[in-house]
Structure 1
Amino acid sequence: MNIRTLKLAYFSPTGTTAAVVEAMAKGLDYDVVEDVDITMPEERQEPLQASAEDLLLVAVPVYGGRIPFLLEPWLRTLELDGTPVVCVVVYGNRAFEDALIELSDIVTERGGTVLGGAAFVGEHSFSSEEYPVAVDRPDADDLRSAEDFGRQVREAVDALDSIDDAPRPDIPGDRPYKERKPRGPVDFIQVDDGCVLCGICAEQCPVGAIDEKDLKHTDPDKCIMCCACIKVCPEHARSAKPGCPVEGFAKWLNENCAERKEPTYFF
């Protein structure tokens, strides 16, 4: 198949998904690459269009075994026309459950043809110094695997005469998908005296939950608990409140999900 443009669409509040996508793009090795980073709200205002001459790589983190609910409206505006697609999810070393098949189903509904899928591990959003979970992942081995996956996808695409000849990958997961657990607002962020009001947290929040005029307050109604504000704070002034649900789950993950899980591919 003759691919004109590689399109990279990804949501990456803490940078782990972006790192995996960058490594895959290196392995894919296309001359023309369009970067569609939908992490910030303004970037999710316009639908993405792709033709049969484009290769779309769409990558998202896993939240509770599903794709982030926040992204569903944007994903359902994808305008694909027989577009070959690779679906990727990044999870925090627990389980990706139904996220990959859910992403694959939406892409297919929007007119794409899924050529393959992959699940990679990234440092869990709730990971902390006290309760580390998959720290510093994706690491060098993960990124080499991502690059290798990209090369395998490129070889598969180059071997096809037509998208109609592409075998359908056996993407794991259940239908109906895992039920989302309802939750109300969670006020879990604390800010200590080390905060210098630099505003980086507000700049990096993917849902605008931190008001630039009130940087020490996080709106629990908007917050998606991605913990990007904690990860990016240069003064390490932001953290989860002791005894909050986030800290409790981080402790559980630290105790029960310590064994390293490796990337998996599906063609």
Structure 2
Amino acid sequence: MDIRSLKLAYFSPTGTTAAVVEAMAEGLGYDVIEDVDITMPEERQEPLEASAEDLLVIAVPVYGGRVPFLLEPWLRTLELDGTPVVCVVVYGNRAFEDALIELSDIVTERGGVVLGGAAFVGEHSFSNDEYPVAVARPDADDLRGAGDFGRRMREAVDALSSIDAASRPDIPGDRPYKERKPRGPVDFIQVGDECVLCGVCAEQCPVGAIDEEDLKHTDPDKCIMCCACIKVCPEHARSAKPGSPVEGFAKWLNENCAERKEPAYFL
């Protein structure tokens, strides 16, 4: 099957999903690449179009066993036309549950043809020095695996005579999907005296929850608890408040999800 270009679409507040996608792209080995980073709000204003001559890799983190609710409006504007697609999710070493099948279903509804899927492990957003969870993942082994998966996908695509000849991968998950637990605003961010008001946190927030005029305040109504602001702070001035739900869940993850999980591939 003749592929004209590779398109990479991903949401990656803390960089883990982006790292996986980049390693996959190297393995796929296509010369023409369109990078569609939808992490920041302004990049989610335009729909993504792709044809049957494009290969689309679409990757998102897992939030509570599902595709992030924030991304659903953008995903449902995808304009695909028999486009071959590889779906990828990245989770924090607990479980990816229904996220991959949900992503695959949305892609199919929008006109894509899912040729493969994968679930990778990334350092959990809530991981911290006291309660580490999957620290520094994806690591070198994960990224090698992502590259190998990309090469296997390239071989599979090259072997197809047409998109109609493609067999559908057996993507795990349940329908109906796991119910989303209702969540109100969570005011969990604390800012220490180390803060120098550099503004990096506001620049990196994917939902604009940090006002550039009031950098020590995070709007709990907008916050999606991705913890990107904590991870990127050069002064380590931001953290989860002691006793907050985020700290409590980080402790639970540290105690119950310490055993290393490996990437899963579906071709």
Gap runs ≥5 in structure 2: none
**Residue identity opposite 2:2 in structure 1:** N
Kindly indicate whether residue 122 of structure 2 is the aligned counterpart of residue 131 of structure 1.
no
Q: Residue in 1 aligned with 2:176?
A: 176
Q: Residue in 1 aligned with 2:91?
A: 91
Structure 1 vs Structure 2 CA RMSD: 0.2
Percentage of pairs with the same residue: 90
Q: Residue in 2 aligned with 1:224?
A: 224
TM-score, normalised via structure 2 length:
1.00
Runs of 4+ that moved beyond 6 A: none
| Alpha-carbon distance in 2 for matches of 1:236, 1:137 | 20
Task: Trace 1:77-226 onto structure 2 (pairs within 5 A).
Answer: 77-226=77-226
| Alpha-carbon distance in 1 for matches of 2:13, 2:31 | 27
Cα offset for 1:117? 0.2
| Alpha-carbon distance in 2 for matches of 1:149, 1:263 | 10
The alignment partner of 1:158 has SS state of helix
Task: Trace 1:59-70 onto structure 2 (pairs within 5 A).
Answer: 59-70=59-70
| Alpha-carbon distance in 2 for matches of 1:88, 1:80 | 17
TM-score, normalised via structure 1 length:
1.00
Cα offset for 1:200? 0.2
Kindly indicate whether residue 47 of structure 2 is the aligned counterpart of residue 10 of structure 1.
no
**Residue identity opposite 1:170 in structure 2:** D
| Alpha-carbon distance in 2 for matches of 1:29, 1:163 | 19
Cα offset for 1:154? 0.2
| Alpha-carbon distance in 2 for matches of 1:42, 1:245 | 30
Cα offset for 1:12? 0.1
Cα offset for 1:245? 0.2
Deviations 1:64-123 (A, max 9, x none): 000000000000000000000000000000000000000000000000000000000000
The alignment partner of 1:100 has SS state of helix
Q: Residue in 2 aligned with 1:243?
A: 243
Cα offset for 1:211? 0.3
Q: Residue in 2 aligned with 1:36?
A: 36
| Alpha-carbon distance in 2 for matches of 1:5, 1:152 | 17
| Alpha-carbon distance in 2 for matches of 1:48, 1:17 | 18
**Residue identity opposite 2:95 in structure 1:** A
**Residue identity opposite 1:133 in structure 2:** V
| Alpha-carbon distance in 2 for matches of 1:171, 1:162 | 21
Q: Residue in 2 aligned with 1:254?
A: 254
Cα offset for 1:202? 0.1
| Alpha-carbon distance in 2 for matches of 1:14, 1:27 | 22
| Alpha-carbon distance in 2 for matches of 1:183, 1:98 | 19
The alignment partner of 2:246 has SS state of helix
Gap runs ≥5 in structure 1: none
